[in-house]
Structure 1
């Protein structure tokens, strides 16, 4: 159990078991035990990631990813999600990344679809981390961009484990839905919150009650609130034709511009006197 260094208001209760999964329930039976653990710890949200140890047959001999295997595996996933749902806690299921061996990558791709479908059906949130651990062609890569945008080693030499930079990157994908669920508890300025205590506003930032004014209903005669009177779908009003220039009136319409006194096109009779030019002393 520890406080997040980034969000002190969040306590992380680590109940992970690196050797567990949903196939070997003799080692750890997640559907049967998760309910009691949630009641004991009273977390605000449950985060689950599994699958790396499930690439094996069941004790009754069902072959990996056969129809019978799929049916049994889905049943155990659904049982886990149902146990979490009964506690009233939301669940965030983190998908698997790609792996070095092609066969393992293909298997976890199939697992991810099972996790996604089951989680979303149960009203949970599935976090897809796949794109963060493949290259531009979609293939497994040991290195990639870290959280600072620099190229870093993300995976161990075995092509399975994550380096510290890889773990931080995977956590980044999970932070977004968690921030939405935990609200201001994720602020770095909030004090530690006791288990089960409601999240309060940040100290030093009191919030005045919000006054909600009644909004006037939108008028059917003026849906755009711009003074117009036509409803949506009415015939558009014709825009006024642009005024033609003197050149267009002459070339297109054959209408010469009006003559001005003193110009060469002044054919008026009798002649009008020219405007008296302004004179000035020249030195």
Structure 2
């Protein structure tokens, strides 16, 4: 009994010490946690002192932060291994530096113009984002145009851009939205879109184009879009006529954006399809500028012309003085749509089609067909189980037969066909047989 009581007392002491150890353990920091069971029993069975490691340091377990939404470090070229990091910084050329050197821009596109031209440049940057060797240079000027040369002289600036040390492969021009102003020359002032105003304005357009062509830089002129204000839109349409005419005279591409930003009735529309076909807002609230999606859509129409010069540059097709390769005659023939050619009749005479209304003569009549044809046996004469076969002999076509005469009359001579009773073209009205006779 004494042994039993001693064992119970020893067990109680162990439990008291265990509970005391749980109550006295305190976490040193909010980001740390201890394992009281391991530490307590480790101390009982000859381990280190309670709550301490082999070197007298507190035995703690660090709780690592949640890493579910963190991207892998190797994606950005990082590493947690200092040896690997040292290998990258020892002066040797790495794969990342080689990739960066291989994707340096080699084809430069200068986008010049007003605010619309700057928005176009933003759309082109996004459009060519998958081509690191193409650089879009944003060289526009807000509130500029070809009228106020005292504010910004675009013919002069175009010469400076073309003569700059930065080699330009293509120049994209889009301006004119601020040019509804009078042109001042000396003491004379010319009203917008007057005959003399048009002459001066066209000469300035030619000066901008010539500044780039003198340096053998291809030019792409982009027309102005439809505007929300009807009067402004009408003036922009007249400016587009000047741009289009001067572009044709200089033999440069002209990109027409008018129909691309109108609705099915040819009117201004702030909404339209983007490059993915989704209906989004393309124009800003002022009815002049583009939204981000609108700039991307407008740039889509210009990218095609830029890629022509880009492909020629990649193929090393252009020669000195000729920026773009001229397509061969075979490619022209292949690209040109095939026009349908009418087949000539056998006798060499042209077929003349006439209106079927009021034919030159009455249509030939066909013989009446019986309602019920003659009865024929389904089995042959010699065999009672074999079906009758069609004779292989083909009767020659009689050109004088009534059916052939009717075909010639309707489809060659352009005549009409007389209606037949109870047929679909019989429009004659017949009163019913049981109709009552009206009184006299």
Query: Alpha-carbon deviations, 1:136-159, whole Å to 9, x = none?
Result: 000000101111101100001110
Deviation of the 1:39 alpha carbon: 1.9
In structure 2, distance between residues paired with 1:121 and 1:247: 66
Q: CA RMSD in A?
A: 2.7
- Counterpart check, 1:13 vs 2:137: yes
Deviation of the 1:248 alpha carbon: 2.3
Per the alignment, residue 291 of structure 2 pairs with 163
Per the alignment, residue 34 of structure 1 pairs with 158
Deviation of the 1:160 alpha carbon: 0.7
Per the alignment, residue 256 of structure 1 pairs with none
Query: Alpha-carbon deviations, 1:99-144, whole Å to 9, x = none?
Result: 0001111111111111111112112110111111100000000101
- Count of matched residue pairs: 200
Moved >3 Å (runs of 4+): 1-4, 198-201
Provide structure 1 residue ranges, at least 5 long, that are not aligned to the other structure.
185-197, 202-232, 237-243, 253-283
In structure 1, distance between residues paired with 2:224 and 2:153: 20
Which of the residues 147, 164, 168 maps onto 1:43? 168
Per the alignment, residue 73 of structure 1 pairs with 201
TM-score, with normalisation over the residues of structure 1? 0.65
Secondary structure, counterpart of 2:307 in structure 1: helix
In structure 2, distance between residues paired with 1:28 and 1:142: 30
Query: Alpha-carbon deviations, 1:170-223, whole Å to 9, x = none?
Result: 000000010011117xxxxxxxxxxxxx7479xxxxxxxxxxxxxxxxxxxxxx
In structure 1, distance between residues paired with 2:260 and 2:394: 63
Secondary structure, counterpart of 1:47 in structure 2: strand
Higher helix share: 2
- Counterpart check, 1:83 vs 2:211: yes
Per the alignment, residue 226 of structure 2 pairs with 98
In structure 2, distance between residues paired with 1:119 and 1:107: 19
Provide structure 2 residue ranges, at least 5 long, that are not aligned to the other structure.
1-109, 111-121, 317-343, 348-390, 400-440
In structure 1, distance between residues paired with 2:315 and 2:253: 25
Distance change in 2, residues 1:247/1:46 (3 Å): closer
Which of the residues 243, 246, 249 maps onto 1:121? 249
| CA contact 2:170–2:218 (8 Å) conserved in 1 | yes
In structure 1, distance between residues paired with 2:280 and 2:176: 25
Per the alignment, residue 73 of structure 2 pairs with none
Secondary structure, counterpart of 1:246 in structure 2: coil
Which of the residues 266, 269, 292 maps onto 1:141? 269
TM-score, with normalisation over the residues of structure 2? 0.43
Secondary structure, counterpart of 1:248 in structure 2: coil
Per the alignment, residue 393 of structure 2 pairs with 246
